[in-house]
Amino acid sequence: MKRFDPQKIKSLRQKLNLTQHEFAHMLGKTYQAQHVHNWETGKLNPSLKSLIHISEAFKLPLEYFFIEDYNRGK
């Protein structure tokens, strides 16, 4: 089973040399730096709608943001 990996958003943002505020701004006015911070720290997972929006904005497959979770269900 796969799970959301918060590091993927952080590494994408850092690779693009964007602050959390700049990253949120690129996604549109409904997003704030606090959303990005919560996603990166794992405090909250982005909604599927948000992930689709991020994938489309940065031209990445949705699967980019997920990793295998081998411990789930054990």
Is 33 contained in some domain?
A: yes
The answer to whether position 18 is within a domain reads: yes
pTM: 0.85
In a domain, 30, yes or no: yes
* Segment 20-42, tens digit of pLDDT: 999 999 998 889 999 999 999 99
The domain containing residue 45 runs over which residues?
A: 2-67
Give me the mean pLDDT over the 65-70 stretch: 90
The answer on pLDDT for 59 being more than 90 is yes
- Give domain status of residue 73, yes or no: no
Whichever domain contains 46, its CATH number is 1.10.260.40
Number of domains forming the structure of the chain = 1
Evaluated on CA atoms 27, 64, 49, 35, the torsion sign reads negative
